[in-house]
Amino acid sequence: LWRFGFFARLLKTNHFRTAASNTSFPAVRMLLAQYPGRIPGSFVKVQRSSFVTMPEIVEDKADLELYLPPPRVRGMTQLDREAFKRTIVVPALKVKKDIIGSLLKSLKHTLLQRPGLKRVIEDPDDENSRLVMLDPHKIPEFSLGGSEQEVLKQFDIPPVVCKHNLELTYDSFKLEEILRAVLPEGQEVTSGFSRVGHIAHLNLRDHQLPYRYLIGQVIIDKNPGVTCVVNKTSIIDSTYRNFEMEVLAGESNLVTKVKENNTAYELDFSKVYWNPRLSTEHGRIIELLKPGDVLFDVFAGVGPFAIPAAKKKCRVFANDLNPESYTWLLHNCKLNKVSDKIKAFNMDGRDFLRGPVREELSKGLPLEAEEQKTSFHIVMNLPALALDFLDAFRHLMAGVAHGAMVLPTVHCYAFSKHHDPAEDVRQRAEASLGASLRGHCSVHPVRNVAPNKEMMCISFQIPDDVLYGRPCP
């Protein structure tokens, strides 16, 4: 892993060093030759896909220079769209308008590929002709290659390339290009954000804060459907799992509607917790459930586990301490027409486990395994604290009769900064339960939250001696 990271950084560095001389990654070729068999086989493939997702690295330096906003926008903190105007020279062909369609198909690989710029414009000198814009990188020194000349010959078009002054405006530039041109040179440019309905949610770094209002407006301009941009101003450390935020641009309406896994939710983003990056994990847990199963959602939020489970015809007991989350949970139950399948509670997590959960388990668990047709699942999605709540299962069912029952399965979420997060989460879960889970649990990676910080899910059946053992005097 260390070598992989080293070569990835070297690949990125040498790309920029060699772009001006148009040499194609020579240092990496030398490294591949010097260290045969020591670089993972998927190295080249992985790096290629990484470039696709990082436009600030993949674009050729010549392309960046051609389509770069003017230098005068550097350091701008209030958006001035007029300041982004500049003129570049591109090659063009003069073509009769009645053959434009056929010609474009034949020259599709040579045409101007820039998003937002027209490939065909009117000829100011001849109303019967049009000017076809060509890619300046495909037509070096405004000279046509042999294949292009052959195409023009077929259409009886003179192989003459003219120079056209093309005006670039604010609308011609991409979000990343604008922010890269405005922010201080050499500083990290963050153009990514979480989309929650009409809201774009940012986590800006300190050096980006002076430009936050400009960044917010550019995001609205470049992302149709986004009408509000907010920046998180504190970490999630409150009792109710929400965070303080500042509206950077657009309307201040933070009540939004989202859709996840074919289920609609409405919520006030400023008062409840919602993370669009957990969509896959919500779906994974729901796939484990069968119709008729019972789900206890200890930290339910607005219902991303509870409501899909109810739609799958499971019986659901959903709880959240945050009164706002509880209110929106009830609202979303009505919205999705599952109010009759979900019993909602507004309690502390431990009180919920020791009260409604214990009561329901005492009805279903005493049945013999062959009679017990339902499985019990307990979801605990409060990764900052959920492991600490596992001690509530100690002796939870003490004094309740039980036979050869199927024990409840817990899905508990946690953050870890350990070099072996799976082992770390297992050990912490064992410490809270007071019992070993080695060989009797699975730990699933959910997502990377930050550098050296992982979100994990540990799943296990509660050991019999933990659930039914009597407490020591």
What DSSP string describes 352-412?
A: HIIIIIHHHHHHHTTS-TTT----EEEEE--TTTGGGGGGGGTTTTTT----S--PPEEEE
Q: Smallest Cα–Cα separation from 455: which of 285, 284, 281?
A: 281
Q: What percent of the chain has pLDDT over 70?
A: 81
Amino acid letter, 109: H
Rg (CA), the chain: 30
Reduced to 3 states (helix: H, G, I; strand: E, B; else coil), residue 39 is coil
- CA dist., res. 79 & res. 146, Å (int): 45
Domains by residue range for the chain, with CATH:
74-172 (3.30.70), 179-253 (3.30.300.110), 274-364+372-468 (3.40.50.150)
The C-alpha torsion from 313 through 316 and 322 to 326, rounded to 10°, is: 50
Beginning with the edge strand found earlier in the chain, give each strand of the sheet holding 129-133 in spatial order.
120-122, 129-133, 86-96, 162-168
Could you tell me which residues come within 8 angstroms of residue 175 by beta carbon, excluding any fewer than 6 positions away?
191, 218, 219, 222, 223
Alpha carbons 181 and 16: distance in angstroms, whole number: 17
Nearest to 389 by CA among 440, 342, 436, 433: 433
Query: Positive or negative, the Cα torsion across 105, 109, 112, 117?
Result: positive
Among 140-149, 274-283, 387-396, which stretch is predicted with the lowest mean pLDDT? 140-149
If one compares 404 and 23, the residue with the highest pLDDT of the two is: 404
The vertex-20 CA angle with 19 and 23, nearest 5°, equals: 55
Top-confidence residue, 281 or 205: 281
Per-residue model confidence as pLDDT tens digits over 405-461: 689 999 999 999 999 999 999 999 999 999 999 999 999 999 999 889 999 999 999
Measure the CA–CA gap between 473 and 301, rounded to whole angstroms.
37
Closest listed residue to residue 192, CA positions, set 210, 215, 159: 215
Distance (Å, rounded) from C-alpha 255 to C-alpha 277? 19
Please give the average per-residue pLDDT across 73-82, as a whole number.
Answer: 95
pLDDT at 234 over 70: no
pLDDT score of 232: 85
User: What integer pLDDT is reported at residue 428 of this predicted model?
Assistant: 97
pLDDT bucket at 31, cuts 50 / 70 / 90: very low
**Nearest partner of 469 among 395, 362, 365, judged by Cα:** 395
Contact 354, 392 (CB under 8 A): yes
Question: Are the beta carbons of 233 and 245 closer than 8 angstroms?
Answer: yes
**For residues 71-75, average pLDDT:** 94
pLDDT (0 to 100) of residue 261: 93
CB 341 within 8 A of CB 314: yes
| Strand pairing category for 409-416 and 453-461 | antiparallel
Per the CB < 8 A criterion, the answer to whether 400 and 363 are in contact is no
pLDDT-based confidence at residue 372 (cuts at 50, 70, 90): low
Q: What is the pLDDT of residue 186?
A: 83
Q: Which residues pair with 93 in a beta bridge?
A: 132
Q: What distance in Å separates the CA atoms of residue 178 and residue 182, rounded to the nearest whole number? A: 6
Mean pLDDT throughout 62-80?
84
pLDDT at 14: 39
- Helix (H) / strand (E) containing 426: helix 421-433
Count, residues in the chain? 473
User: Which residues in 52-76 are b (16+ Cβ under 10 Å) and which e?
Assistant: eeeeeeebeeebeeebbbeeebeeb
**Euclidean distance between CA atoms 56 and 323, whole angstroms:** 43
Mapped onto helix, strand or coil, the DSSP state of residue 465 is helix
Are residues 130 and 164 in contact, defined by beta-carbon separation less than 8 angstroms?
Answer: no
Q: Residue 81 contacts by C-beta under 8 Å, 6 or more apart in sequence?
A: 169, 170
